[in-house]
Amino acid sequence: MTHLRSSWLRSLGIGAMAVLVLGGAGCRNPFQEDATAVLQEGYTRAVQAEHSRYEAQGTVQFAAALGNTDAPIQELSVQFDAQGSDSGRGAAATSTAAQRIAITVDTSEAIARANVQLDSRWVEGKTYLRLGDITAKLEPKAGTDAVSAPEVKEMQMGTDAALGAVKGMLGGKWIAIDLNAIAGMVAALDPEIVPPKLPTGAELDALDARLRAALQANPLLVLRTRVGTEKLDGVRTYHYTVGLNRSSILPLMEAVAADLQLTASDLDEARTALADPKVIAALDQMVGDIWIAKKSKDVMRMRITVDSEQFADAEFNKEGRLTGTIDMRFRDWGKAAPVEAPKDAVPIEELLGGLLGGAAMF
């Protein structure tokens, strides 16, 4: 018995020494996960998944000239809150999706805050939209003398009237949008207009398959650091920081160029842009955090942070500043979440019929 105990202790001591030696030699801890492999598996599972639910919140701030290049620079802040589900991806004839999103926009000028709440569903090739609410609050802000208080009050009355008319016509109603029906109406209105050919269900399925294959062959995420392990919604996860894999952007564009109608010239412009030091710096400054479940390897959460002064645009974002955070949580990977078409949806051609008919008289 003493011999067995001493053998066990000796084996334990040898094992401990081996771990210490391997660690001291710079080798990966054998008891620590291969972070690159875990990230790749989580990414692949997300790309291949047929079903999922998600919640997302985010805020983006930037400085822009609204209207034209001579317009004054305004600070804009856009906040959004979304939740939804996606079921049956890869089969356009039976796939469904639902989303509820609320968007708030703040500016540094008289328009202080605008809010839009919108529900959407995708069922068997048709889109359904429902406007929940839309408001705009106008008020002169501190340090802004471009618009006087009486002018703002008058503008507010006009805005309320216009938005009230929109809500009266669309608010709370599901609108069914069939692009083929709209194309037919436009063609009937003016035979010289040739509506674009819309993809069939089979073509959409083929596009989905090509896109997934391209995303898997050209991973967009690259591991930066291993933060550690954390519990998220009761699930033990690996927490990593990740960056954007610049080397995957162009191959991904090339893989779906035909589907997106990208020309050789478009690809050449993208290739030139991706070699620009400013673009490289901007892309490299995009950093994210990702949480992957230890057991299932499902992506549980992803947070993307942007903080850059490299996004200058002569006609819009003159100063090039763009900052913000987008936080997404995922659950129920692989669990079907079918969505039904609203039974009381009004076809959009009924709403547009009067407008288009009136337009035909002129």
Going from N- to C-terminal start, the domains of the chain cover: 33-360
| Predicted local distance difference test score (pLDDT) of residue 8 | 41
Q: What is the pLDDT of residue 19?
A: 42
Band (pLDDT 50/70/90 cuts) for residue 328 is very high
Gyration radius (Cα) of the chain, Å: 27
How many other β-carbons are positioned within 10 Å of the β-carbon of residue 21? Answer: 10
Average pLDDT over residues 266-293: 89
Give me the count of residues in the chain.
362
What pLDDT is stored for residue 240 in this prediction?
Answer: 97
Backbone dihedral angles phi then psi of residue 141, each to the nearest 5 degrees? -95, 165
Q: 361: pLDDT confidence band, cut at 50, 70 and 90?
A: very low
Q: 150: part of which helix (H) or strand (E)? A: helix 149-170
Measured CA distances, 189 to 25, 183, 354 (Å) = 77, 10, 12
Cα gap 117→130, rounded to integer Å:
9
Q: Is the pLDDT of residue 5 over 70?
A: no
For residue 224, what pLDDT is reported?
94
**What CA dihedral angle connects 181, 182, 184 and 187, to 10 degrees?**
180
Residue 68 has pLDDT above 60, yes or no: no
Q: In this predicted structure, which of 56-65, 142-151, 244-253 has the lowest mean pLDDT?
A: 142-151
Give the pTM.
0.78
What's the CATH number for 33-360? 2.50.20.20
Do residues 36 and 201 touch, judged by C-beta distance below 8 A? no
3-state secondary structure 14-62: HHHHHHHHHHHCCCCCCCCCCHHHHHHHHHHHHHHCCEEEEEEEEEEEE
